Chain A
Amino acid sequence: MERVIRGTAVFIFAFCWAMNGFSQKTSDLTIAPQSPSSQFETPETFTWLGNYGTFRIAEDFFVTGELHIRRTEHDGVDYVGRQAQIYNRWGVKWNPNKNFQATLGGVLRLDFTPDPGNDDLNYLILEPRIWHEYLFAQPFARMMVYHRLRFEHRWSSNHVPGSDWNYRNRFRYMVMMKIPLNNTKLTPGTVYFYPSAELIMQSGKIVKNSPMEDLRLLPALGYIYNPRISFSAGMMYTTGQRVQNDMFRTRWVARFNTYISLDFRKPENKIPEVNILD
């Protein structure tokens, strides 16, 4: 465990250092010192429903498709008051070995108006993204630790009609763990503890003094129903700099995810298991 924490800390430091270097090389991306006036906003509440699908199409390749439905507080209703976003994320995943995955794909985010009924705002705007991520898995005797680097290139505007499109980059690092609680391994029937921490940095023209877009801390519980279906649920706390001001946005997000993994290969292409005793 100590090794995991130490490794994770080293990785976060290295990532931040790298990001720092990156920002220094970019003329329009500077990290200003923390403004003394910065303060945390009152937390908003969200509910994120995520459906993750991964479909094996070849020995080392998968097609991923995710659908996220996110609702937020509105009109006195916490967590689910209005529709916030719908994400449609897809990609092609390369999984050459048991410790590494790389994925490249696109996202179409449907962003719903923050003020339903306000005709001055567009009800729905789109935000396309290109994303690629690199996932490293560290197996341990009784748990798995993952390090995820995700990079997103996004084009966004806002709900005010005629708004400009802004291009931003996101640099995300997440460390997460899956610790089986009622088992020694992540096998069907296992309930596991699923803590994660993700730091999301950003860059772009509009990003002046707010490179830290979000820091997400999520303790969750998961359950593996079978090798193809599992679930998780948790309450995530996030905080990050707003682009418009020095305020730190905070959120409580109730997250409910389902994970579906299917093998679409032809049966004859599935590598048969090896029975050593045969």
Chain B
Amino acid sequence: MIVLGYCCKWFSRTILPVVFIQLLFSWELRAQNKSEYEGAYTLKGDSIPGKCVYEFELINGDTVKQGRFSYNRTLSVKQESRFEAVEFKGDYAGNSKTGNWVYGLKSFTPVNEPLVNDYSVVYEARGTEKSIQAEFDNDRASGEWISRELKVDSGQVVDTLFTAKANFLNGGFAGGFEGGNAQLKMTGQFSSEGLLNGIWSFEHENCIEEREFDNGVMIQHRFKVDNNTYELNYISVTTEDSVSENRLREVEVSRDYFKILTSDRFRLNVNEGSEKNTDRILSWRQLSNENLSAALQSFQMESGRAIWNQLPGSDSIQNPRVKLILYPYDNQEQEHLKSIERKAEASLKTIREFYEDAQVDISRHSYEDIAYYFAVFKRYKPILEKVVEVAGKFNSKSFRFINRAIVFPEFFNDDQPESEIQFEFDDQKMQREHDFPDALKSDAAYHNEWLEFTSSAAEDVSRINAEVDKILEKYKKEKRLKEVEEKLVKAGDTVLALYKGEIEGVELNNYHKQAAEKVILFVENTYRNYGMESTENRLKSADSIMTCFKNLVNLFRAQDKLPGQLNRLDELYTRTVWNPYTMTDMEERLKERIYNAFEKDVLPGFLNRLVTEVNCYEVSRDINEFEKIYRLMVKLREQDTKDTERQLKKASGSKERAELLLNLIPNRQ
């Protein structure tokens, strides 16, 4: 017992501490190998960080995600009063996604009254929840994936809007697929290479649509409605026995593929005696295309963003594919198609500008030709719009997989414009013939004829446009001339009325009277000469005559001011002195030499030009010059002018005195 007691004592004092210390150290070692990060984390291509918790190891100084990973971010979209929450959950192994992963996107709007629960305020939500249950194997999609979209209202899931279930292998679709919603149920198979294979079934409400693929090549497309089977035989898409394998190309089942499918012409075969219902068939086809496209994309795309690539360590999921026949373009066809599109667009632009031109709209009531071309362009517009649209399609990538020569006539069926053009002009129905390009015919070199048609049409449009431009130019000239002449006559009549004293309240002074005869004669002669000119010359001379008439109106005003200005100078240069002997105010001239130089040497020249010898083209300069000398005289009255007066005294003649005074004008040219 003593020994046992001793052993226990030894064990508790020696071994237990050692074991404890060993345990402690081993935990520390593990903790150093694997750590956990908890904090902000920003997804690739995003700018707003969310909350993230993940386990990682530091290997050679690098962070390597290892273990659990979870991320969530809630964003308030204030404009729409909703919240958007994104969630990722899964596991990493050596920075690669592995095992099961979950993606969720909730877009909720709070509804009803808030509920206070403990220390939280809770709202019920309305909106949608999208989720993906995924599986990865070393970053590659693998196993069964499920994509869902649920409708939520008042905090409860009320409907499943969409479900898709697919199997993946090595990052690509492989195996069974099913999906759909309340209106449509889709099932089908992918080959191990990701090609659509076998029968793909689309169960609509009243129809079962089946697309049968043979390792990617669609060999049949049928619709079972009631007891009838409708078969769509595509011209280009489906293959024929004769098509060699090397002409087949793999095409992703994406929007482009469906575009090819819908662009291709088809023949609808139907059981004998059944009603052809092409529209319904096409609407089912459209619904299937849209849902299949959405279902396939739902595993990896959200609002144009690759879902899984937002996190590190994901290979892109390889889209499923089909096989289509390639109809390569040769250089000439490509060149022709581009040229057709370009020419048609240019012509269409011309036609649109023609219709947008207000002048055209107005002048088609005045010019028969414009009205006629208006009607011709009406014929051209829809044809060229169609050419642009079809050429655009033919130039698109998807049309590489369409037998263009065969489908071409399907687009241009009976599009020969009628040569007989009926139009209205001057409240009368008119009729003319127009030589439109020949109708398009289909043959192997469809693009040659198409180009020829488009080029002819473009030339015709261009020629008409040039013709219209000429007419409009003439119209514009006449209109402008009319406007200008209205103003011209108004200005000229104003001059005549002024100088004839016909304007009430305007009295003629002596200067007006002196100039009147000459001015009136000038205006009347101008009218007569102008009237004898051609339209072109009238347009050329109208502006200068207008300027001339305006100058004459200004001259009238200047002459109107003239007595006042001369009186003002007279007053300025006159001093009034009280004479106590005569008991009268006596006036005497101040700065007599300056005033005399103005009155006797400068003023007569101006009066000659402003009153006697009126030259309407130079009168503006003379008025301006007189204003300057007038202002100078006003200024000189207050200035020390002894030097000038001395020079004036010494000056030998009138011309010299005038120059002396005029040279005092600042900046005189």
Contact = CB atoms under 8 A, between A and B. Distances in A.
Given A273-B575, A277-B571, A261 B583 contact: no
Contacts of B583: 98-99, 101, 135, 137, 139, 144, 146
A139 B585 CA distance: 11
Contacts of A188: 586-588
A161 interface: no
Interface string B562-583: 0010001001100111111111
A227 B575 CA distance: 10
A178 B577 contact: no
B289 to A, nearest CB: 91
Interface string A117-147: 0000000000000000001010100001010
A227 B577 contact: yes
A54 B586 contact: no
A263 B571 CA distance: 21
Interface string A248-278: 0000000000010101000000000101110
Given A277-B564, A277-B568, A277-B571, A224 B580 contact: no
Interface string A163-206: 00000000000000010000001111000000000000000000
B211 to A, nearest CB: 101
Nearest to B565: A277
Nearest to B575: A273
B584 A139 contact: yes
A227 B564 contact: no
A275 B638 CA distance: 13
A185 B581 contact: no
Contacts of A99: 583
Interface residues of B, number: 18
Contacts of A20: none
Contacts of A23: none
Contacts of B576: 273
Interface of B is mostly: strand
Contacts of A263: 577
Interface string A57-69: 0000010000000
A186 B579 contact: yes
A218 to B, nearest CB: 15
A136 to B, nearest CB: 9
Interface string B312-347: 000000000000000000000000000000000000
B581 A54 contact: yes
Given A275-B572, A277-B571, A185 B564 contact: no
A62 B577 contact: no
A226 interface: yes
B491 to A, nearest CB: 30
Contacts of B577: 227-228, 261, 263
A230 B568 contact: no
Interface in A71-104: 93, 95, 98-99, 101
A146 to B, nearest CB: 7
Contacts of A275: 568, 571-572
Contacts of B571: 273, 275-277
Residue among A135, A137, A187 facing the most chain B CB atoms (10 A cut-off): A187
Nearest to A146: B583
Contact of B581 (A98, A139, A261): A261
Contacts of A185: 584
A66 to B, nearest CB: 11
A101 B580 contact: yes
Nearest to B564: A277
A54 B584 contact: no
A52 interface: yes
A62 B585 CA distance: 16
Contacts of A139: 583-584
A75 to B, nearest CB: 36
Contacts of A277: 564, 568, 571
18 contacts: A52-B581, A54-B580, A56-B580, A95-B578, A98-B583, A98-B585, A139-B584, A144-B582, A186-B579, A187-B586, A188-B586, A226-B588, A227-B577, A227-B579, A227-B586, A261-B577, A273-B576, A276-B571
Closest CB pairs A-B (n = 3): A227-B577, A227-B586, A137-B583
Given A54-B580, A137-B583, 18 more contacts: A62-B580, A93-B580, A95-B578, A101-B580, A139-B584, A144-B582, A186-B582, A186-B586, A188-B586, A226-B586, A227-B577, A227-B579, A228-B577, A230-B582, A273-B576, A275-B568, A276-B571, A277-B568
Interface of B: 564, 568, 571-572, 575-588
